[in-house]
Homo-oligomer: A and B are copies of this chain.
Amino acid sequence: MAVYTQVDDITLSNFLATYNVGTTTSFKGIAEGVENSNYLLETTEGQFILTLYEKRANPEDLPYFLDMMEHLASKGLPAPLPIHDKAGAALQKLAGKPACMISFLKGVSVDHTSPDHCAELGLTLAKMHVALADYAVQRENDLSIDGWKELFEKVRAGADSVETGLEKLIESELAYLSEQWPTNLPKGTIHADLFPDNILFTGLKITGVIDFYFGCTDTLAYDLAICINAWCFDEKHDFVAEKAKRMIEMYDVERSLSPAEIEALPTLCRGAALRFLLTRLYDWLNPVEGAIVRPKRPDDYIKRLKFHQQITDTAHYVV
């Protein structure tokens, strides 16, 4: 949530000379994303986001993310379009960092999600899954069961400092999920981080899906489970059935959920809750020195996990 790498005027104008995007009329660092440097660039031709990838991004993964955005944008989904330079390349080097210019998407993130927002998200998510069905490149999800186990080893010693019994809770949940995690459901390319701050609305319409840097190949319904966790609770972190009902219904309009997917939803939701519980717990126990963004407390996801644990049937989500 900052600009880590400064781009000076001469570096910028040399960089832009390799593109057909007109000349700069404005250039401002924006507080978007936690891990990379982002600039809003306005030229005589339009508005763009210029991203410099900082050290947490694996340069080998960047073509996967950019191609994923381009795949979606070219099919009319509201994803940013990577801009190619005169020689045809989208991925660049700028100020010593991997960099990319993408189209700017209009819209505003919502902090207070409504059932209507959730319905629109369900529809968009399903459209993305369908549009990505022929995106052939694969990328393993680092943050699935094996990744959770690794993370747990790093946080178990500190877990009970956040809430008594948390180490035990995670340990038994990991044991449960290792047994129960569905492996035969339809897989494909998922966003894997569709939180409200990664969705831009214009009115009740989604006009932007951003931040594809957790994109990977995984169970499609798991992406839906992530969205249920991220969107279908209220400000006190209590579940709102109406939101989940509308989201699932509208997803199903665009891509039919199989009976097996529906049956697996409670387990997938437990996994999604555990995934964000673990990363938040890790960030909470290992604050980055000098970071302006205070890590979010993991409590909200402890509460979500406990909620999903007592759901035995997907029908309970939607009544």
A: residues with CB less than 8 A from B are 1-4, 8-10, 12, 24-32, 40, 42, 104, 106-112, 200, 202, 290-292
CA distance A25 to B207 in the complex (A): 10
CA distance A9 to B204 in the complex (A): 13
**Residues of chain B lying within 8 A (CB to CB) of residue A27:** 108
B2 adjacent to A31 (CB under 8 Å): yes
Known interface pairs A9-B109, A26-B106; 12 further A-B residue pairs with C-beta atoms within 8 A, sorted by A's residue number: A1-B2, A4-B292, A9-B110, A9-B111, A10-B112, A24-B108, A25-B106, A26-B108, A28-B30, A30-B30, A31-B31, A290-B292
Also in contact, A112 and B292, with CB within 8 A (given A1-B3, A26-B106) = no
**Residues of chain B lying within 8 A (CB to CB) of residue A104:** 26
**Residues of chain B lying within 8 A (CB to CB) of residue A12:** 108
Residue in B3, B9, B109 whose beta carbon sits within 8 Å of that of A31 in the complex: B3
Specify how many copies of this chain sit in the oligomer. 2
B26 adjacent to A30 (CB under 8 Å): no
CA distance A203 to B63 in the complex (A): 34
A39 to B, closest residue via Cβ: B31
Q: Give 26 pairs: A residue, B residue, CB < 8 Å, sorted on A.
A: A1-B2, A1-B29, A2-B2, A2-B292, A4-B292, A8-B111, A8-B112, A9-B109, A9-B110, A9-B111, A9-B112, A10-B111, A12-B108, A24-B108, A25-B108, A26-B107, A27-B108, A28-B31, A28-B40, A29-B32, A30-B30, A30-B31, A30-B40, A31-B31, A290-B292, A291-B292
**Residues of chain B lying within 8 A (CB to CB) of residue A4:** 292
A207 to B, closest residue via Cβ: B25
Closest 7 CB pairs of A and B: A29-B31, A8-B111, A3-B31, A2-B292, A9-B111, A28-B30, A25-B106
**Residues of chain B lying within 8 A (CB to CB) of residue A290:** 290-292
CA distance A111 to B95 in the complex (A): 14
Also in contact, A107 and B25, with CB within 8 A (given A290-B292, A292-B290) = yes
CA distance A4 to B2 in the complex (A): 11
CA distance A217 to B31 in the complex (A): 34
Also in contact, A40 and B40, with CB within 8 A (given A112-B10, A202-B25) = yes
CA distance A200 to B26 in the complex (A): 8
A3 to B, closest residue via Cβ: B31
How far apart are A13's CB and chain B's nearest CB, in angstroms? 9
A8 to B, closest residue via Cβ: B111
